[in-house]
A and B are shown apart, each in its own frame.
Chain A
Amino acid sequence: MSEIFGVPTQALFGQLLIGLINGSFYALLSLGLAVIFGLLNIINFSHGAQYMMGAFVAYLLLNKLGIGYWWALLVTPLVVGASGVVIERLMLSKLYKLDHLYGLLLTFGLALIIQGLFRNEYGSSGQPYAIPSQLTGGQNLGFMFLPNYRAWIIVASMVICFSTWYVIERTKLGAYLRAATENPQLVQAFGVNVPRMITLTYGFGVALAALAGVMAAPIYQVSPQMGADMIIVVFAVVVIGGMGSILGSIVTGFSLGLIEGLTKVFYPEASNTVIFIIMAIVLLIRPAGLFGTQK
């Protein structure tokens, strides 16, 4: 069997695939962050908590109302997205005229409160959520056993990422959105309700986080700090991709997943740090990120 640096190529394929799966989550989460930052200029630190809420809403739907995974995929983003709309209307909308820092502090505080409430209610070890029966089992690919559910995650997240990119960069609605962030007064003068559009955009970004949360629930334990563990990495992804760049966050999300996967084979101890090393290097060479434009 052929080998690369002492690792059999077959094992390497398996690890790359796993990296791609983790990359799917990075891409989904950083996408929501990029949409919110790109269009609202808000650094949404409660994104991790909203991802966690997505997982918990799916768990509660199943255990309290008997609503299964597939409906949860639809209902959860609506519920959590609506909570995002409320937050935007009541709090964030008051901060647009102020420095970025205020939005960051507000959302960070909200994240701590939300996590604290869930921890108080459900403890820190988390709750189990079963894989939907249609997606249990897996395929033997020869070089690895690929659980069906993980395959579904790769496909679903690629579809979601591509659709979001398409809507924002290639449709008329997306053009309005982008125009509204460039020059809100002018767009408003054309009869577009800019504040409502901004509110809905925040709701959409939050809904994306919740969707990622539902998808993560069967793999990871549904626990209050699942978002906090993830959010720091996701912020690094956004910074590497370029703050606010939709395409950047998608491409970086998937590729960092791959790089992290390779690190886990060759030097597992560094797999937590590798993303931050890359971030530091990128910031030194291209301070606006790989896909970002200097303002």
Chain B
Amino acid sequence: MKRTLLSTLLATAFGLGAAGAQAQISDGVIKIGVMNDMSGLYADIAGPGSVVAARMAVEDFGAAAKGMKVEIVSADHQNKPDVGSTVARTWYDVDKVDVIVDVPTSSVALAVNQITRDKGKAFLNSGAATSDLTGKACSPNTVHWTYDTWMLANGTGSAIVKTGGDSWFFLTADYAFGHALERDTEAVVLKNGGKVLGKVRHPFPGTDFSSFLLQAQASKAKIIGLANAGGDTINSIKQAAEFGITKSGQQNLAGLLVFMTDVHALGLATAQGLIFTESFYWDLNDQTRAWSKRFASANGGKYPSMVQAGVYSSILHYLKAIDAAKTDDGTKVVAQMKQMPTDDPLFGKGTIRADGRKIHPAYLVEVKKPAESKGPYDYYKIRATIPADQAFRPLAEGGCPLVK
């Protein structure tokens, strides 16, 4: 079943007379490895679209003009930590990859996080959710870019509790990500005066959620919190509608991690009214719109998810840091990335904290009704913008050993 597909793309041609800048670049090439789920339930969230985003970042940075040679390789980790670890080791040891990007699926991300640290390379995570990457598992070689479970819990959880959803039942994907999301959301619910009536852990990935939904229904909790993602969330929402759980008006779903690609797959008729938190939406401003249209034309018409946007933005900043530090040594580049403020068309101006957490605003969004949507991918109303300094877990609370 091993079908690691390795597509090598020569992103830029070798620049002439690049000797100066090249001096500290190992073997003269900066090799970026995009590792994610290329074929399973998270393939639309990240998948081949993340490779498109990576290629755009290299182009927009103008690597060729600066005399830097950048290559992009990609692989499918199949959401399995063992497969991801094998790919990471092969990339670092044999293929001379300098940085691994994306890596959705928290269990795989935690494994790659450790390997990257051992090898002294760099890891720019966009796809995974667990806040442990900048908490107890934080590393001087890792930057966690797009979002995390604390951000989701804080944005969605507190908004729902404050509007009356004060009793919860969790439907949780049974692996590192689900557990982290459930833990962080539970903390927010309790802190805001709500209570948790029960939880059920479903196998990952699942297909039939009706059994778990009935258990949630029996709990009489006002809010059923979906601590899962991708295809699991889509099927949970669909089947909750089928079993009349949402129609009764007694109970509501809270999608704790919903991506725009999920809304697209569900259709607005089923997804309308869902409230959740994202850190990127294509229709935020002129810059995000322009970039997203370019992305879509290179990605078969599909608009970017926040994960794909994060891949673009993190690679751009990584290349800027290499340009400034004149080295591709993983530990040094990540240190440089933390020193320089970030600035890109998708996430605006931001910073990277000592624990590796990238800081930017988050958005509480609500899915539009079919009648409100004016065109393809016109899906969200922005209900609130959570400012950058409140969107993520305070530095001191994460328990990251790098923070003194």
Q: A residues bordering B, Cβ < 8 Å?
A: 8, 11, 14-15, 18-19, 21-22, 112, 115-116, 119, 123-128, 131, 138, 144-145, 147, 149-150, 219-221, 223, 225-226, 229-230, 261, 264-265, 268-269, 271-272
Contact = CB atoms under 8 A, between A and B. Distances in A.
A255 B261 CA distance: 36
A225 to B, nearest CB: 6
B201 A269 contact: yes
B225 interface: no
B239 interface: yes
7 contacts: A19-B211, A22-B208, A128-B267, A225-B39, A225-B231, A261-B211, A268-B202
Contacts of A221: 231, 234-235, 238, 265
A57 B231 CA distance: 20
B200 interface: yes
Interface stretch (B14-22, B40-48, B66-74, B308-316): B40-48
Contact of B214 (A14, A124, A229, A230): A14
Nearest to B48: A120
A267 to B, nearest CB: 10
A223 B231 contact: yes
A119 B37 CA distance: 13
Contacts of A261: 211
Contacts of A115: 39
B207 A272 contact: no
A225 B239 CA distance: 18
A272 B230 contact: no
A11 B200 CA distance: 15
Contacts of B203: 268-269, 271-272
Contact of A229 (B207, B243, B244, B267): B207
B344 interface: no
Interface of B: 3, 39-45, 47, 174, 200-203, 205-208, 210-212, 214-215, 217-218, 230-231, 234-235, 238-239, 242-244, 261-262, 264-267, 270, 302
B239 A119 contact: no
B244 A147 contact: yes
A22 B206 CA distance: 12
A220 to B, nearest CB: 6
Nearest to B234: A221
Nearest to B248: A145
A15 B231 contact: no
B201 to A, nearest CB: 5
A272 to B, nearest CB: 4
A264 B211 contact: yes
Contacts of B202: 268, 271
Looking at A150, A219, A230, which has the most chain B CB atoms within 10 Å of its CB?
Answer: A219
A124 B210 contact: no
Nearest to A119: B39
A233 B266 CA distance: 26
Contacts of B43: 119, 123-124
B210 to A, nearest CB: 5
Contacts of B218: 8, 11
B41 A124 contact: yes
A124 B244 contact: no
B65 to A, nearest CB: 33
A265 B202 CA distance: 11
Contact of B242 (A147, A226, A268): A147
A84 B207 CA distance: 26
Contacts of A147: 242-244
Nearest to A226: B207
Query: 8 tightest CB-CB pairs across the interface, nearest first?
Result: A125-B265, A272-B203, A124-B43, A264-B211, A125-B44, A128-B267, A123-B44, A18-B211
Contact of B302 (A14, A123, A265, A272): A123
B214 A126 contact: no
A21 B262 CA distance: 26
Contacts of B214: 11, 14-15, 18, 144
Nearest to A115: B39
Chain A CB within 10 A, most for which of B208, B212, B230, B244: B208
Contacts of B270: 128
